[in-house]
Structure 1
Amino acid sequence: MSPSQMGDNLQYADLGTGRTAKAISLGSSHACVILDNNKVKCWGYNASGALGLGDTTNRGALPNQMGDNLPYVDLGTGRTAKSIAATSLGACVVLDNNSVKCWGSNNFGQLGLGDKIDRGGHSGDMGDNLPTVDLGTGRYAVSLSAKHANFCAILDDKSLKCWGHNGNGHLGLGDTVFRGDGAGQMGDNLPPVDLGTDFKVHTVSSNYYGFCATSTLGKLKCWGANSYGVLGLELPGTEMKGDEPGEMGDNLPFVNLGSNF
């Protein structure tokens, strides 16, 4: 890097003729955007079909791979995207009909489809052939957050459901059992994250170690691994939250943000 590479010398990513970006989410080595027409484009590293283009060809490093030459992600007939979240090797979107679709690596069940089969790297994986994630009877997702190999979705009733890798209690379910990689784990069988009495989820975000959620009243709770004190609970860095029974719900402390909270 040098000073001459930034400022007016830093080129815009070519998203196609007349297209602009509304939202972006970054994986470890790829990026996905929702465009002004509510369609999705992804570029970068494409192992396991992370770009959702029906192949494993990387995009963005060679001439003529971007702009109008970069295909849209096929989300299904007539479907567009409202929200997107990328993991290290994949992504999930909330669609215009409030359903959720995920693609890319699925080695921990992070696609939420009841198996460990990657999606997006082969012809026929995407579009109408890509199943939606079952979040429970009558429930739908409002927004998503992702980390290395799991996703969390805020649902219409302001509850939270998480699935995928659970090695450090990332899913906030009081155990370390992965969810989404086997039959019968999703839908009504996937418990919501218990964040305590009257905790209605407003936002959720992640770092490498776990998730944090804010309530509609502005309170904050975090769970997962606690390296470097990232949970904000003034606990030893080796202590985790969410990996054992009795750690969630009202037993999970709020993060102390000061006297106004």
Structure 2
Amino acid sequence: MAEECDDGNTADDDGCDADCVPSRVVQLDLGGMHTCVVTRTGGVRCWGRGTHGQLGYGDTEARGDDEVPADDSNVEVGGPVIQVSCGLDHTCALLVDGGVRCWGLGDHGRLGQGNLDSIGDDERPADVPPIDLGDKRVVAIEAANEHTCAIFEDRSILCWGQGALGRLGYGHEEDVGDDESPASAGYVDVGADVLELAGGAEHTCARVEGGAMRCWGEATYRRLGYGGSANIGDDEAPAAAGDVPVGGRVVQVAAGNKHSCARLEDGRVRCWGYGWFGQNGHPGVAYWNGDASAHGDVDVGAAAADVFAGMILSCARFDDGTVRCWGGGSLGYNGSGTTEDLGNDEPIHGIALLELGGPVQTMSVGNNHVCALLDTAEVRCWGGALYGPLGYGNTDNIGDDELPVDAGPVPVFQAFDR
């Protein structure tokens, strides 16, 4: 039976879905140099760098550099998807049936298949079985630079991939998933029920029951928030470190390359760790000393509804859908229309709100680029465009000498006549 609304077919995600509702994006996430979205019907589309198969199309071609996402089909994941999470060079999807599939670069076992093979470079993710994570149902996934974690319905977690510096939290530095299943590693001893995870370059943070936060992995620049420089998780469990002294009840966590952030229940934002580019939100504090609360709140100007972090950038979203970002400006990363860093020598509350063309529902900050999902379901991206992660069909950076609003929406779906 054909659609009655537009194009006379029963295909989803072609501009008008089979139930005659316009196709729309419901979730997005960014990796090192690629972008993936989940559609209303559970489809996945990815664009940007494809060197290791991280886009999932069975080749290593870049997409979005001379074509737009609308020109492509959905990634064959093996079923409808409820969440996608992107690492540096890999991508993971949580399916409606509770299965998890990862694709892209396979080194260190980050794909969880018990080998080092890449997936998605000459096969589709659906061609490979779901990762063996045991019998419990997965409710959320988090792909970091070179490791991946999953949260289960009982709020326990498993992590796999690169184990150096303790980022997996198993009390050793061995990789997991390279020659064994993640399930065989056992659960990470966080010491409390995990509600949310944020993966950085070499560290992991968890929001746990009771409004606390715990972090493990590399501790340089005091990114873990405990005030010391000793790594955690390399020869002890995260539970041994206890709660990060954030200074309030935590309701959201975010992790950048060498910094971390938390949103507190009253809307205050705290960030700590490396701040050379202004990303920790404390002007003049390039090298952090003390614990997470040492320099107080980031003065974002109002109560934040969300906080996000990427490589050298942090952003706060407010209740009205406006967004303020601080940190690196190279390639247009912070969206200010210049390549100047923000937050080094000016108060964060004085940084102009981003001009995006409408209220933001959610966003994601990658290593060199940023994308926002507007209330209209439009996607806007800016920053570095090498390999096409912005999705505009070219490799022109956005945000360096123009504002993100000037680029218009990313053409994720084909246009159709209503």
What is the TM-score when the length of structure 1 is the normalising length?
0.87
Match of 2:245 in 1: 194
Alignment of 1:95-106 (within 5 A): 95-106=152-163
Question: Equivalent residue for 1:219?
Answer: 268
* Matched-pair identity in %: 25
2:181 to 99, 115, 125: 125
1:26 to 64, 74, 86: 86
What stretches of structure 2 of length at least 5 have no aligned partner?
1-62, 305-418
Q: Distance in 2 between matches of 1:186 and 1:104?
A: 17
Which of 8, 12, 23 does residue 74 from structure 2 map onto? 12
Is it true that 1:68 corresponds to 2:126 in the alignment? yes
Instruction: State whether structure 2 residue 201 is matched by structure 1 residue 148.
Output: yes
What aligned pairs does 1:84-99 form with structure 2 within 5 A after superposition?
A: 84-99=141-156
1:112-161: per-residue Cα shift (whole Å, max 9, x none)? 00111111011x3333x12101112xx21001000111110000111000
Verify the 8 A CA contact 1:93 1:102 in the aligned structure 2.
yes
TM-superposed deviation, 1:195: 1.1
Deviates more, 1:38-47 or 1:19-28: 19-28
Change (3 A) 1:167 1:50: same
Q: Provide the C-alpha distance between the structure 2 equivalents of 1:11 and 1:168, rounded to a whole number of angstroms.
A: 42
Aligned to 2:279: 230
- What is the aligned counterpart of 1:43 among 103, 107, 132? 103
**Cα distance change on mapping 1:89 and 1:7 into 2, 3 Å:** closer
Q: For structure 1, which runs of at least 5 residues remain unmatched after alignment?
A: none
Q: Residue 228 of structure 2: which of 162, 175, 188 is its match?
A: 175
Instruction: Please say which structure displays the higher CA radius of gyration.
Output: 2
Could you tell me how far apart the structure 2 residues matched to 1:248 and 1:169 are? 8
* Aligned residues of 1:209 and 1:227 also touching (Cα < 8 A): no
Residue 79 (structure 1) aligns with? 136
- The number of equivalent residue pairs is 242
What is the distance in 1 between the residues matched to 2:160 and 2:86?
A: 14
Post-superposition CA distance 1:166-188 (Å, at most 9, x none):
11111001011000000x4432x
In structure 1, C-alpha distance between the alignment counterparts of 2:272 and 2:162, rounded to whole Å = 24
Distance 1:157 1:2 in 2: 43
CA positional deviation for 1:12 = 1.4
Q: Partner amino acid for 1:239? A: Y
Report the TM-score, using the length of structure 2 for normalisation.
Answer: 0.55
SS of match in other structure, 1:8:
helix
User: Residues 24-51 of structure 1, C-alpha deviation per residue, up to 9 Å, x if partnerless?
Assistant: 1111100011111121110000001010
Cα distance 1:159–1:2, how it changes in 2: closer, same or farther (>3 A)?
Answer: closer
Report SS of the residue matched to 1:223.
strand
RMSD: 1.8
SS in structure 2 at match of 1:218: coil
